[in-house]
Amino acid sequence: MTEFFSPRPHRAFSKGFYKSDDFDYEVRGLLGAASHGNTDAGEVLATIDGVAEGDHEHWFQAWHDTGSRVRALADDAAKAGDSVSASAAYLRASTYFGVAVNAVSGLESDDLLVPTFRLQRSSWEGFVDTTDRVVERVEIPYEGDTMPGWFFRPSPESATRRTLVMVNGSDGATSGLWNTGAAGALARGYNVLIFDGPGQQSLLFERGIGFRPDWEAVLTPVVDFLLQRADVDGDRLALYGISQGGYWIARALAYEHRFAAAIADPGVVDVAASWNKNLPSSLLKLFREGKKDAFDRDMALGMKFSRATARTWKFRARPYAKDSYFDTLTEVHRYTLTDDEATRITTPLFLADPEDEQFWPGQSEELAAGVSGPTELSRFTAAEGANFHCQPMARQLTDARMFGWLGTVLPR
C-alpha cells in the first residue's frame, strides 16, 4: 500500500534566518552578495551556524574570525602569485570585516571600531591591488581636502565611456558597492567611480567627518573631477544611490543637473521617518514640542531599560555627530527633500520599490510623484525573491532592471 503524507513546506525565505530583524537582514544581504563574489554562501552559513539569537558579542567575533581566516587565504594566494584567488578572497574578507565593523555597535566598547575598519579597508585595497579589473586610486578635491575614491574601467583602452557614480548609504562598506552595481556596470561597459563621502567609511572613522544633508556640495566636486578626464563622456554621466544614498542623490539632483540619469535604490524623501516610527508617541510629542531637556531625560531612561535600543541608537547616531538625543534627532530631520526641491529634479530617475520595504515604505512612489523629470518606478516582490530594503537577495534581477533602463537613457 502506498503511504501518503503532507510534507512541511520549506519556509527559510519567508520565516527568516533569525527573529532579530537586524541579524536576519544581514544574512539575507550576505547570501545575495554571493552573486558577484562578495561572499561565498557556505562561508556565510558556517559563520552563523553557532551564533545564537541576540548574541551580539559572538556575532561580532564570528564575522571577525571569518574575515581573518579568508584574509589569510588571500595573503597566501597573493604571495604565491595566484592573483585570481587572492582578489576573490580579499573581496570576501572585506565584506565579512564590513559586517564586523557594524557589529561593534553591539559591544560594550567602541575600541575595536577603527582597528576592524582598517582590516576591512586594507582587504578592499588588497582586492584593488590583485584584481584583473583596470582600477585607479583617485583623490577627489573637497572643501580644501580630498575624498578617497577608486575609478574602474571595463578595459585597458582609454576610450571615452559612460560613467556610473556610486553613492553609498549610511553604513555600507565600500566593498558592498561592488555587489550592488559596480560589477554589473563594468560588465556592461561603464566606467565606475566609488568614493567615501562625508560620514562614510574613512571620512567618518579616521577623519571624524560626519554626514551632511546638502549632497550637491559633495557631488558637484565629483562631477567637476570627472569632467577633467578624457575617458569620461560628460554627456553620459549616471548616478546611483543605495539605501540612504537614495536621499542624498535626490537632494543633489535638485541642484546639480549634469547627470544624464540616476538610480535611487530606493527613493528616499524623508530620512527621519525611519527614526520616528521607532519612537514612542509620548517621546515624539516631547520632541515636536521642542522640550529638549524632557526628551533627553526620558530617552536616557529608556536606554537603560533596553540595551538593544541603546546599541541601535549609538550605531545610527554616530555619523550625525551630535551630543544629545534631541540634537541628533533634530539633525536627522534636516534630511528631508522639500516639495520645491523635488520639482527641481528633471533628471530621468529609476526608482526601486521593493515589497516589504522596512525603512522608507512608500517613499519611492512619493519621490516619483514629486519630481518634474521622467521616472521608472520598478516594483520588486517577494514572489521574485526580491523583497525587503534594497532587494538583498535579488541583486542580479536588480542589475538587469536598472541597467536595462539605463541603457535606454544612455545608449552606447
Whose cell is 584574509? That residue is: 71
CA distance 366 to 364: 5
C-alpha dist (Å) from residue 213 to 175, 249, 265, 331, 333: 23, 10, 18, 9, 10
> Which residues, including other chains, have CB under 8 Å from residue 259's CB and lie 6 or more apart?
165, 223, 237, 238, 239, 253, 347
Q: Are 74 and 94 in contact (CB under 8 A)?
A: no
CB 165 within 8 A of CB 239: yes
Nearest partner of 348 among 269, 270, 249, 271, judged by Cα: 249
DSSP type of residue 355: T
Using alpha carbons, select from 59, 53, 398 the residue that is nearest to residue 243. 398
Angular region, 50: left φ>0, alpha ψ -120 to 50, beta rest = alpha
Catalytic residue among 87, 175, 243, 364: 243
Q: Residue 170 catalytic? A: no
DSSP letter assigned to residue 279: S
- Residue 378: strand pairing partners: 352
Q: Based on the number of CB atoms within 10 Å of its own CB, is 372 exposed (0-12), middle (13-18) or buried (19 or more)?
A: exposed
Alpha carbon 324 to chain centroid, angstroms: 26
Which residues does residue 265 pair with via DSSP β-bridges, in sequence order?
Answer: 242
User: Catalytic positions, please?
Assistant: 243
